[in-house]
A and B are shown apart, each in its own frame.
Chain A
Amino acid sequence: MSPRREDRVEPPAVVLHHAPGAPSAVLREVSAGAEEEGVPLRLQRVPDGAAVALGHAAARDSRLSVGVGVSADGAVAVHHAQLPADRPALAVRDGTPADWRRAGRTAARVVTGLPLQ
């Protein structure tokens, strides 16, 4: 059984789960998006998976309930732990660096309670 959320000592952060082989350019821009908004982001490599599923798992793992999933093919999904698993807050496929930056900013803004666009 996993420990209760409150028992963990990690500081609150948006959690990003990425598949092995997720493009580093995507990870860089997503991280930059969250950093510009001033919200901490913790990267974690996990076994392979689709972006939306990774994002939801990351959200459940985050003390802020917000997660980002990045798949091996560079797809990005921003998720909240309370949202249905198949309905992410934002999903980007075949995106540009600006889209990836926006995904990071969106994850941060779900935390800060600011409009997402």
Chain B
Amino acid sequence: MSDRLVVGVDIGNSTTEACLALVGPGGAVTHLGTALTRTTGVKGTPASTEGALTAVRRVLADVGRRPDELDRVLLNEATPVISGLAMETITETVITESTMIGHNPATPGGEGLGVGVTVSVLDLPEHPVGEPAVVVVPAGWDFDDVAGALNDAVARGVEVVAAVLAGDDAVLVTNRLHTPVPVVDEVSAVEKVPLGMRAAVEVAAPGRTIRTLSNTYGIATVFDLDPDQTRQVSPVARALTGNRSAVVVRTPSGDVTDRRIPVGVLELRGETRTVKVDVDAGAEAIMAALARVQPLRDAHGEPGTHVGGMLAAVRDTMADTMADGSGEAPGDIAIRDVLAVDTFVPAEVRGGLAGEIALENAVGLAAMVRTSRSRMQAVAARVAAELATEATIGGVEGEMAVLGALTTPGVQVPVVVVDLGGGSTDAASLSADGVCTAVHVAGAGELVTRLVDSELALDDREVAEWVKRWPLAKVESFFHVRHEDGTVQFFDEPLPSHVFARVVVLTPDGPVPLATRRSLDAVRRVRREAKQRVFVVNTLRALRQVAPDGDLRRLDFVVLLGGSALDFEIPDLIADALAGFGVVCGTGNVLGDQGPRNAVASGLVAAYANGLGG
């Protein structure tokens, strides 16, 4: 019997991989080549056939073989897994009656504290002498005219103590005053500042933050408040903490509230009991509830909430995917895992006069839906017909991944592989006595992208994906950048003006500026914490489910696989987290040269060869 030409094909959530090999009569394997393409449709459904065919044809073409030479195509038994994501904002900051202005403009003017009564610059000529004035200037006023009006009033005997401007010219106005006062500018909705009210304007010296208006008792002193009123203004002081400038207006019932938004209930149905948990209780409470019901059988969210909508949507998508017009029941479709993550969303404050931003608390939720029904036989039949060769289901995904991972130099049984994917994180273990266990947990690369997107307020999935994928740098001149580790790189060609002094992502196509006022360190922290909260948490969750007695210390070799194992820092974060358990952990190198790719496809070939060799 001669050598057989076989190809293992792994249809994954986002990529389809092929591994071509010659298998001798005794089971000796000669690897010829590998190929990778995007998965078409949902894995394990007939729509994914197209991607499988592309991968097979590509690997054959690479090594100059024809489809009719193929002895057999080996496919993995892949359970369709669809994941969904949702974000619920659970707090909201509201300013009522224009009590304060706290947008922190880049260049306020003057410094100090001015307390008086708000008056429009138009009414300033009639303003009574003896009543300190906080002058409010609408848009369209030139800085020379504003300074002139203020100087005239002072000459008339009016005590001008501060000014609030619509335009960006606080420094220009202050520089032209005979007696400089604190000036806050860039107040876009200046016409909404209540007139005839007592107000305080504070501007700190450059490099400093305000001291009086960020202190509850400071505000109480300025406005002569009683203890009850003091209690009411304490959120105002808190909202202004850390600013270089601020305005507080004393209105009869104005307030700043940090409101909790009721976001509904998540119902988790376990094997033996059902637990309901309020989503606004936060991620920790949700994950604690999940732990109480393990193993999860299904989950439902309250209709009308984001979480309810998301859970219904993933279920519907799966039902649509499985309904192929054959009239067969779509099988048992159930949410089998959820991951909740506490996050924050910078949002514009309601009732703010100058586009104030507050960090609102939110809960991010990833869910994974599985079905009991597999359609791989249909995929195999179509592959066989298209290529005019035999196509069989060569093995179950988790087991095949383990077999493939074992081709990594230095790895031996017992071993656990962790596949860090886009929608789910999967783990499979092979014990010394040959027992294989596999688990899927919700949340992976897409959730990281989502967290980065919302926490940095990028509002651009593509840019968020880049932030996740590539390191950052700060452009320090037209010719050099400082990388996030502090090293400096010079360029021959000048960098474009739009990246000057910005935090940029170093994509292979060049630096992309981030539309954020945050420092490089802050952006880096957001990126690393998102990866930590998803991949490190999920790897530990998955490993606990497959480890003997759930004890991580009893694991020996852990091999990281999948697209996110190629990330420049995720494997390090996971290795750090596992270091304390005495586990050998690293990124897989399938066949000694494929890195963390191609494990399942190689495993299929190995399983077939093992079968021949007996």
Which residues of A does B touch, CB under 8 Å? 32, 35-38, 80, 82-84, 87, 89-90, 106, 109-110, 113-117
Report the minimal beta-carbon distance from B253 to chain A, rounded to whole angstroms.
37
CB atoms of B478 and A83 under 8 A apart? yes
CB atoms of B497 and A36 under 8 A apart? no
Q: Which residues in B have their C-beta under 8 angstroms from that of A113?
A: 476, 501
B143 at the binding interface (Cβ < 8 Å): yes
A82 to B130, CA, bound (A): 56
| Contact among B143, B168, B170, B479 with A82 in the assembled complex (CB-CB below 8 Å) | B479
A17 to B116, CA, bound (A): 44
With A87-B494, A89-B500, A116-B498 already in contact, 6 other A-B pairs whose C-beta atoms are closer than 8 Å: A35-B175, A84-B494, A113-B476, A115-B513, A116-B497, A116-B501
21 contacts between A and B (CB under 8 A): A32-B143, A32-B169, A32-B172, A35-B171, A36-B107, A36-B169, A36-B170, A37-B107, A38-B107, A38-B171, A82-B478, A83-B494, A87-B494, A89-B478, A106-B497, A109-B501, A113-B476, A113-B501, A114-B106, A116-B498, A116-B501
Known: A84-B494, A110-B500, A116-B498. A36 touches B478 (CB 8 A): no
Known: A32-B169, A32-B172, A87-B494. A116 touches B479 (CB 8 A): no
B502 at the binding interface (Cβ < 8 Å): yes
Q: Which residues in A have their C-beta under 8 angstroms from that of B479?
A: 82
Q: Which residues in B have their C-beta under 8 angstroms from that of A116?
A: 497-498, 500-501
| Contact among A32, A36, A80, A114 with B501 in the assembled complex (CB-CB below 8 Å) | A114
A48 to B222, CA, bound (A): 57
CB atoms of B168 and A36 under 8 A apart? yes
Q: Which residues in B have their C-beta under 8 angstroms from that of A38?
A: 107, 171
9 A-B pairs with least C-beta separation: A36-B171, A89-B497, A115-B501, A113-B501, A115-B502, A116-B500, A83-B494, A36-B172, A114-B501
Q: Which residues of chain B in 493-509 are interfacial with respect to chain A, using CB atoms and an 8 Å cutoff?
A: 494, 497-498, 500-502
CB atoms of B476 and A90 under 8 A apart? no
Q: Which residues in B have their C-beta under 8 angstroms from that of A83?
A: 478, 494
Least CB separation from B476: chain A residue: A113
Least CB separation from A91: chain B residue: B497
Report the minimal beta-carbon distance from B265 to chain A, rounded to whole angstroms.
44
A82 to B163, CA, bound (A): 40
Q: Which residues in B have their C-beta under 8 angstroms from that of A84?
A: 494
Least CB separation from A32: chain B residue: B172
